[in-house]
Amino acid sequence: MIVRQLSGRGFLNSHLTDMARPSSDLAALREIFSEAKNVAIITGAGVSAESGVPTFRGAGGYWRKWQAQKLATPEAFSRNPSRVWEFYHYRREVMLTKNPNPAHLAIAECEERLSKQGRTVTVITQNIDELHRRAGSKNLLELHGSLFKTRCMSCGHEAANYTSPICAALEGKGAPDPDTNDAQIPVQQLPRCEHEDCHGLLRPAVVWFGETLDSDILTRAEKVLDSCDLCLVVGTSSVVYPAAMFAPQVAARGVPVAEFNMENTPATMRFKFHFHGPCGTTLPPALERHETEQT
């Protein structure tokens, strides 16, 4: 059973002393890319940062006085469903004003181009913002679910939901400022299930801390990771399991891994390449058409 949790950093930091520093040689990565048949791209919140979506472990990682991960738990929802819905309502409404950035677009364009050459690109994302999907990525595994899906606590029915606001009582609620009071919306006025007159309480269909990941999605991700011959890991702090161990596992079987990040992570030293800087700038040149590619 794979439960989502913060990593013990010890796993990623062990046995690093004999490792070479990762290279930032773009031409060398491009050579490998030109030969790769199956490319896995693991992404985290940093890939959406240049779209204006706050990351979790940066300055924008708070909503009111809570760290996002304190609200993203089943316990927080059962204690205070109104507060947790305000938090997710806020995130949904913010996302409706954001758009994919050059990193999302470069990934989607690369998938489409390589698919015409019989090569595959698969995105494995921890993000729940759907920006990869909106950019055009099709071969996409959303490990942590989506902000725009709901699941019924009573009947389990899952449905896409882009309604804004998601229910009348949440209209104008969810302000993130630390001095905002909870709206304390009665549970009957929170989003309710409309499937076959169920009326059960809906929750966001996202994977919260302490919950298990969808086993079908996880199995598909493992298959992609086991068969890829190049892996890119973009904008993730590599501290939340199980995604944190995906790229190090690929590197451990000798497959080149390239990290694109603003900073080093606990996994950086395990990788062949590290490209420092905003991925909206660093990623597109890595993924653009290589001169040896067929058209």
Question: Which sequence positions are flagged as catalytic?
Answer: 144
Q: Does 72 bind ligand OAD (CB under 6 A)?
A: yes
Q: Between 55 and 139, whose beta carbon lies closer to ligand OAD?
A: 55
- Smallest distance, Å, CB 122 to ligand OAD? 17
Per CB under 6 A, 235 contacts ligand OAD: yes
Q: Which is nearer to ligand OAD, 167 or 262 (CB)?
A: 262
Q: For ligand OAD, how many residues bind (rule: CB under 6 A)?
A: 25
Instruction: Give me the DSSP letters along the chain.
Output: --B-EEPPHHHHHTT-TTPPPPB--HHHHHHHHHH-SEEEEEE-THHHHTTT---SSSGGGEETTEEHHHHSSHHHHHH-HHHHHHHHHHHHHHHTT----HHHHHHHHHHHHHHTTT-EEEEEE---S-HHHHHT--SEEETTEEEEEEEETTT--EEE---SSSSGGGTT-----TTPPP----GGGS-B--GGG--PBEEEEEPPTTSBPPHHHHHHHHHHHHH-SEEEEES--S-EETHHHHHHHHHHTT--EEEEESS--TTGGGSSEEEES-HHHHHHHHHSPPTTS--
Binding to ligand OAD by residue 236, rule CB under 6 A?
yes
| Piece of 11-19, 40-48, 75-83, 148-156 that binds ligand OAD (CB under 6 A) | 40-48
Would you count residue 85 as binding ligand OAD (CB under 6 A)?
Answer: no
Kindly state the smallest distance separating residue 195's Cβ from ligand OAD, in Å: 25
28 binds ligand OAD (CB under 6 A): no
Residue 77 binding ligand OAD, by CB under 6 A:
no
102, 176, 200, 278: residue in contact with ligand OAD (rule CB under 6 A): 278
Question: Which spans of this chain sit near ligand OAD (rule: CB under 6 A)?
Answer: 44-46, 49-50, 55-58, 68-69, 72, 126, 144, 235-237, 240, 260-263, 265, 278-279
